[in-house]
């Protein structure tokens, strides 16, 4: 792409895509249309076509970005280095606390979109299967037999999707207090203090000191 294609008068592909994501999150997929986007960005409508063939191409790009952000983000966390299944589980829990790894509002918006679009519903089904499979493989790496690994993976995943679908909101302190119990329920092992300390540190959390 030439420099002129990326001029301020036209924006950029990412600028249009970012604005489309904002509209998707705010008002649903029906609001993601070229004219409202152009007005939002204060760009000409024709500049949109420098980067996308049509609205359908833009929607396909939204799906692709969601796939990379949430599905691949979760899969990468299941494959991250861990010395124990507990540490591996905490790596996955990073997704639920760090929107750079997994964007929960985006996940909710995509699942809402799927209610009115069969192709998007199919994308969701594929993503669900891929994510559960990644969680199952994580358990198998630590010696859990395949059926039990799959059941554990499904339990973890469906629990979190329930959180997202119900728009459950928990203060960080409440979520952190519950995480050791979740880890033990999902893995059968309680986390060691040092494992929790590392987890807390990477999320900038300091547990309240007991009196």
- pLDDT tens digits for 180-191? 999 999 999 999
pLDDT attached to residue 210: 59
Q: Which domain holds residue 77?
A: 63-202
- Residue 7 pLDDT grade (very low, low, confident, very high; cuts 50, 70, 90): very low
A 10 A CB-CB count for 93 gives 21
In terms of domains, do 100 and 128 share one? Answer: yes
In terms of domains, do 28 and 118 share one? Answer: no
Count of domains forming the chain: 2
Closest of 56, 64, 165 to residue 115, by C-alpha:
165
89 near 183, Cβ under 8 Å? yes
- pTM (2 d.p.): 0.90
Confidence check: pLDDT of 6 > 90: no
A 10 A CB-CB count for 135 gives 26
Residue pointed to by tokens 């994580």 = 138
Ramachandran assignment for 191, one of left (phi > 0), alpha (psi -120 to 50 degrees), beta (any other):
beta
Choice between 211 and 136, residue whose per-residue pLDDT is larger: 136
- pLDDT tens digits for 39-90? 999 999 999 999 999 999 999 999 999 999 999 999 999 999 999 999 999 9
**Mean pLDDT of all residues belonging to the chain:** 93
Q: What is the CB-side half-sphere exposure of residue 70 using CA atoms within 13 A?
A: 26
Considering the domain boundaries, does residue 211 fall inside one?
no
Considering the domain boundaries, does residue 207 fall inside one?
no
Burial (Cβ within 10 Å: 0-12, 13-18, ≥19) of residue 184: middle
């Amino acid at each position: 792409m030439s420099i002129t294609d990326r001029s301020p008068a036209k924006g950029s592909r990412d600028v249009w895509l970012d604005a489309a994501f904002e509209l998707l999150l705010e008002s649903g997929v029906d609001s993601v249309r070229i004219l409202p986007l152009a007005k939002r960005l204060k760009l000409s409508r024709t500049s949109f076509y420098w980067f996308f063939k049509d609205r359908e191409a833009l929607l396909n790009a939204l799906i692709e970005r969601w796939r990379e952000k949430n599905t691949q983000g979760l899969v990468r966390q299941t494959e991250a280095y861990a010395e124990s299944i507990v540490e591996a589980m905490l790596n996955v829990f990073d997704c639920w606390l760090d929107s750079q790894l997994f964007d929960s509002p985006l996940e909710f918006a995509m699942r809402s979109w799927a209610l009115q679009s069969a192709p998007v519903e199919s994308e969701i089904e594929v993503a669900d299967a891929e994510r559960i499979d990644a969680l199952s493989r994580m358990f198998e790496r630590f010696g859990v037999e395949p059926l039990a690994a799959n059941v554990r993976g499904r339990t973890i995943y469906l629990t979190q999707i329930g959180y997202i679908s119900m728009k459950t909101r928990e203060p960080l302190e409440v979520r952190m207090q519950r995480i050791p119990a979740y880890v033990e329920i999902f893995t059968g092992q309680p986390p060691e203090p040092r494992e929790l300390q590392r987890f807390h540190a990477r999320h900038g959390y300091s547990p309240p000191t007991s009196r």
